[in-house]
Amino acid sequence: MEGPKTSRKKESLHIAIIGLGYVGLPLAVEFGKKFQTTGYDISSSRIKELKEGEDSTLEVSKKNLHQPNLRYTDKPDELKECNIFIITVPTPIDEDKNPDLTYLISASKLVGKCLNQDDIVIYESTVFPGATEEICVPLLEEESKLTFNQGFFCGYSPERINPGDGSHKLPDIVKVTSGSNKTTAIFIDQLYGNIIKAGTYMAESIKIAEAAKIIENTQRDVNIALVNELTMLFNALNIDTQKVLSAAKTKWNFLDFYPGLVGGHCIGVDPYYLTHKAEQEGYIPEMILSGRKINDGMAFYVSNNILELLEKEKINTNKANLLLLGFSFKENCPDYRNTKVLDLKNELSKNLKVVDIYDPWIDKHKVLKELRIDLIEKPKKNFYDVIVVAVGHKIFKEMSTNGFSEYAKEKYVLYNIQNSFPILNVTGRL
């Protein structure tokens, strides 16, 4: 058989979204507007909150959570009536920075048990080129007892969700699609075309689509690493990095990147998937690894920079109290996966008396349960020797210098990591 039955009518399609996080939930909602859709997540608490009309990721509004054709479940048996499966589970790295495919493998086995003749499985999770066909497909075959490209078919359409970005929602971002053969590729491309206003781009193969996704974030990582390294250099030369960047970006083709901590579930993770595959093939990707080394070391650099400023201002580090403003991995977003603010806290805690973290975007009870980090409810007044703006949340941008000084002692250091907004009379800045 060349591919799935392209004559399927819209009403015969039943789409299952596996994983209802930042990627899966918006996808389930959009498909739920036009197709029979089942949103599945292994977390019963996640399903409970969605059924109650709440989304802790803040990616979907309350009014959009309930669609006429959409239901939420944590029961695997309810997936057996579906015929299109879209897998959107996390693909993190382990402590040694190797790909952790635990969620992907579990999801593939789960879906494999539900497959019937002519069903389609589409992966959106970020992986290294070849992972879908080399790792996932054999699991689907084993669990379903069906043959790939005869009994069932696959595709890959990489997610491009940008958490906290209200201007670039799922329908507004061009969707790369692919399929395990031409008929399947066309079917999948047309399927996504029903919900993506920005249009689709059909890649020639699954491997090309996988590679296209992973270089998007690798490119950003390398560019940020360059700016981070330039910042270290300009600091050593006593030159204001922001003023240099402002001057340089007057040229039309200058790439507009800024220094900072590089965390999150994508930029700080995806390059390791690509380097893992490269090293398997005997190729050492020097530039990518160099960029990762620089960005992974930024928390250590910033910590040392702050300590040097304290010494310069003759503030005793052993008795110093520090306030970190922001804990999420990016601004105006509750997502704290792989946040490098945690690395910064750990570095600073080695030398300072108190390191408090305040972030109004974050569920402090969830952080305490998952990471055993106790975020403060509110900063103490007249208490801190150092205030560090770690994340450029809008609420922090709107604070004047007086707003910061409310929490500080009479003499204090104000340090802005991203330098994403101006502060007057700053003692220290990156």
Encode pLDDT of 202-229 as tens digits.
999 999 999 999 999 999 999 999 999 9
Angle between helices 206-236 and 241-248 (to 10 degrees): 130
Identify whether the C-beta of residue 235 lies closer than 8 Å to the C-beta of residue 298.
no
- Residue with token string 């922090």: 396
Q: Encoding tokens for residue 175?
A: 């969707």
In three-state secondary structure terms, 337 is: coil
Q: What confidence score (pLDDT) does residue 264 get?
A: 83
Catalytic: 266?
yes
**Phi/psi zone of residue 372: left (φ > 0), alpha (ψ -120 to 50 degrees), beta?**
left
In three-state secondary structure terms, 239 is: coil
Asked whether residue 425 carries a pLDDT value surpassing 80, the answer given is no
- Residue with token string 């959409």: 70
Q: What is the pLDDT of residues 245-291, one digit of tens each?
A: 999 999 999 999 988 899 888 888 999 999 999 999 999 999 999 99
Give the Cα-Cα-Cα angle 270, 276, 282 (nearest 5 degrees).
145
**Phi/psi zone of residue 13: left (φ > 0), alpha (ψ -120 to 50 degrees), beta?**
beta
Strands, E assignment, 59-118: 70-73, 84-87
Identify whether the C-beta of residue 388 lies closer than 8 Å to the C-beta of residue 415.
yes
Q: What confidence score (pLDDT) does residue 4 get?
A: 60
At 18, which helix (H) or strand (E)?
Answer: strand 14-18
Distance of CA 229 to the CA centre of its chain: 23
Taking Cα atoms as reference points, which of 195, 201, 203 lies closest to residue 170?
Answer: 195
Q: What is the pLDDT of residues 94-114, one digit of tens each?
A: 999 999 999 999 999 999 999
Provide the percentage of residues in the chain whose pLDDT is more than 90. Answer: 78
Active-site position among 136, 154, 266, 333: 266
Q: Confidence band (pLDDT; 50, 70, 90) for 230?
A: very high
Over the chain, what is the mean pLDDT? 91
Q: What confidence score (pLDDT) does residue 401 get?
A: 62
Q: What confidence score (pLDDT) does residue 2 get?
A: 57
Residues making up the chain, counted from first to last: 430
Taking Cα atoms as reference points, which of 170, 76, 178, 77 lies closest to residue 120?
Answer: 178
Q: Confidence band (pLDDT; 50, 70, 90) for 189?
A: very high
Q: What is the pLDDT of residues 9-36, one digit of tens each?
A: 666 899 999 999 999 999 999 999 999 9
The C-alpha atoms of residue 309 and residue 415 are separated, in whole angstroms, by 9
Buried b (16+ CB within 10 A) or exposed e, 61-80: eeebbebeebbbbbeeeebe
Asked whether residue 61 carries a pLDDT value surpassing 60, the answer given is yes
Q: What is the pLDDT of residues 322-354, one digit of tens each?
A: 999 999 998 899 999 899 999 999 999 999 999
Q: Encoding tokens for residue 168?
A: 């670039």
Full-model pTM: 0.90
Q: Confidence band (pLDDT; 50, 70, 90) for 296?
A: very high
Euclidean distance between the first and the last CA atom of the chain, given in angstroms as a whole number: 60
Q: What confidence score (pLDDT) does residue 10 get?
A: 67
Q: Confidence band (pLDDT; 50, 70, 90) for 390?
A: very high
Q: What confidence score (pLDDT) does residue 18 get?
A: 98
Q: What confidence score (pLDDT) does residue 417 get?
A: 85
